[in-house]
């Protein structure tokens, strides 16, 4: 226990650990997002819970984990965690009685722990491959502590034609050996993931760091960036979310090669073929009198166009006759 406290104090600012340890799943703050207005009622329902969380930021990581119950306790009492299950489900029952969208409630007090690498709560909010304290072998110390807020949702695809889902940013840069806490805010009402690949496997199982949450809600997790320049793929692995835009890159130091098909950033390896379509336009009818339309219609016909081009050719030919005449006599004189 003392060891844990020490580590907690040494490695993190209270805020970082607090947010990580609770794996905050508070509802996205009701600032500029329309969709959150509809959830304002729920937020009213649990102002106490939210308030509690804000307070936690001011406490040390350890005291916080005490207040938030065994599920967020990092002392390794995993066996106890399962005993919490019953309570969790009672909680779920209560909500479902009153609210159709009962499961939207962020109940961040109860976590099902799997192991240190894999945390999941009763709604499937997941933190996998988190690294709070293990320094990469190429790092002597942590170079900087960074907090990055990542928003995910359909609306961010708006600025990239031909995509369906996206992150709010497509690239994040940190120094080598930086300790980075990602606050992943899912603004849709479905699952999204923040999944990073290619991390060193001796620190990260499968070389992966993975946050997953059904929105609108937030989940946070921390990693320590490797000591060398590198670029890592970040994506959502739900079927065709990456293919349809939810893709980004995490650049450490100067980075390495860019990752392809990141919307607005790097070209697709395989592009679709686009062709102009015959779409109706307002100008088609508004600016044209019936007469003009009739005439343009005849002109637009393939046959008419062909005849016109033949006529044009003939005219050009006629114009060229004098030139030819000029040329031929010259040749004769040359001879």
Partner 1 sequence: MPNPILIAVMVFYLATASITAQASLKLPQTIKVDRAALTAEPPCDPKISPAWREAQVIDGVKIDASPACSPDNPAWIAAAVKGTNNVSMDTLMKTGLSPDTIIKTDDLDGDGDPDRIIIKLEVMELNGKSPDFPGIVPTFDIAPGVQPGVWVFAPKGSGMSTENFESVRANPLLRLPAPVIRVEQGDIVQLVLENTHYFPHSIHLHGVDHPFMHKEHGGGDGVPQTSEIELMPGERRVYEFQPRQAGTMFYHCHVQTHTHLSMGLAGMIVVEENRPNNWLQTLNIGGGHVRHSSVAIKEKFDQEYDMHYHAMDKELGDIIQKYNDPRLIARDMNQRYDITDSTEDYYTINGLSFPYSLRESLIIVKPDQKIKLRLLNSGGEMIAIHTHGHHATITHYDGVEHNPVAQIMRDVFDMAPAQRLDLTLETTNDGKHSYGEGDWLIHDHREKGITTNGMAEGGSMSSIVYTSYLGEDGLPKTSHFGIDLSHFFTKEYWERRVPIWQDLDETANLGSPAGQTVSMDAATKNSLLNATYGLLIGILIYFIFSKREYIKQSVMTVISRNKDGKGSQQ
Would you tell me which residues interact with partner 1 (CB under 8 A)? 82, 85, 88-89, 92-93, 96-97, 100-103, 112, 114, 120-124, 126, 153-154, 161-165, 188-191, 195, 197, 206-208, 210, 212, 214, 237-241, 243-244, 260-261, 268-272, 274, 277
- Determine the Cα–Cα distance for residues 44 and 51; give it in Å rounded to an integer: 11
Shortest Å, Cβ 194 to partner 1: 13
Shortest Å, Cβ 69 to partner 1: 16
Is it true that the peptide bond before 44 is cis, omega within 30 degrees of 0?
Answer: no
Query: Whose Cβ is closer to partner 1: residue 45's or residue 243's?
Result: 243
Query: Whose Cβ is closer to partner 1: residue 190's or residue 315's?
Result: 190
Please enumerate, as own/partner, the contacts of 260-268 that have beta carbons within 8 Å and a separation of 24 or more. Answer: 262/170, 262/171, 263/157, 263/160, 263/163, 263/166, 263/170, 264/159, 264/160, 264/170, 265/170, 265/171
Shortest Å, Cβ 280 to partner 1: 13
Mode of pairing for the β-strands spanning 179-186 and 145-153? parallel
- Determine the Cα–Cα distance for residues 210 and 197; give it in Å rounded to an integer: 9
Residue 97 φ then ψ, to 5°: -70, -35
Shortest Å, Cβ 208 to partner 1: 7
- Determine the Cα–Cα distance for residues 73 and 328; give it in Å rounded to an integer: 101
Query: Whose Cβ is closer to partner 1: residue 51's or residue 87's?
Result: 87
Shortest Å, Cβ 284 to partner 1: 18
Task: Find tokens 């690949």 and name the residue.
Answer: 197
């Amino acid at each position: 226990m003392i060891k844990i406290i020490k580590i907690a104090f040494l490695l993190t600012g209270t805020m970082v650990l607090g947010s990580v340890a609770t794996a905050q799943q508070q509802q996205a703050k009701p600032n500029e997002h329309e969709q959150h207005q509809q959830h304002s009622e729920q937020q009213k329902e649990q102002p106490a819970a939210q308030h509690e969380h804000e307070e936690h930021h001011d406490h040390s990581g350890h005291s916080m984990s005490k207040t938030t119950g065994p599920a967020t306790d990092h002392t390794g009492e995993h066996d106890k965690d399962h005993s919490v299950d019953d309570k969790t489900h009672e909680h779920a029952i209560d909500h479902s009685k009153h609210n159709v969208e009962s499961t939207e409630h962020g109940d961040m007090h109860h976590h099902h722990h799997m192991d240190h690498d894999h945390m999941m709560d009763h709604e499937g909010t997941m933190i996998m491959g988190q690294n709070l304290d293990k320094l990469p072998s190429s790092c002597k110390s942590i170079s900087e502590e960074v907090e990055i807020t990542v928003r995910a949702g359909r609306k961010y695809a708006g600025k990239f034609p031909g995509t369906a889902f996206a992150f709010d940013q497509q690239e994040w840069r940190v120094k080598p050996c930086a300790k980075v806490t990602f606050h992943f805010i899912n603004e849709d009402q479905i699952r999204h993931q923040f999944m990073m690949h290619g991390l060193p496997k001796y620190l990260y199982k499968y070389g992966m760091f993975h946050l997953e949450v059904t929105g609108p809600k937030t989940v946070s997790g921390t990693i320590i960036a490797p000591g060398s320049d590198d670029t890592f793929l970040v994506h959502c692995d739900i079927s065709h979310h990456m293919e349809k835009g939810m893709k980004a890159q995490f650049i450490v130091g100067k980075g390495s090669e860019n990752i392809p098909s990141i919307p607005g950033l790097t070209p697709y390896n395989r592009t679709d073929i686009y062709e102009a379509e015959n779409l109706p336009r307002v100008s088609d009818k508004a600016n044209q009198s019936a007469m003009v339309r009739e005439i343009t219609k005849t002109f637009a016909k393939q046959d008419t166009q062909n005849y016109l081009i033949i006529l044009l050719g003939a005219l050009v030919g006629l114009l060229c006759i004098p030139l030819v005449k000029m040329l031929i006599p010259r040749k004769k004189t040359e001879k």
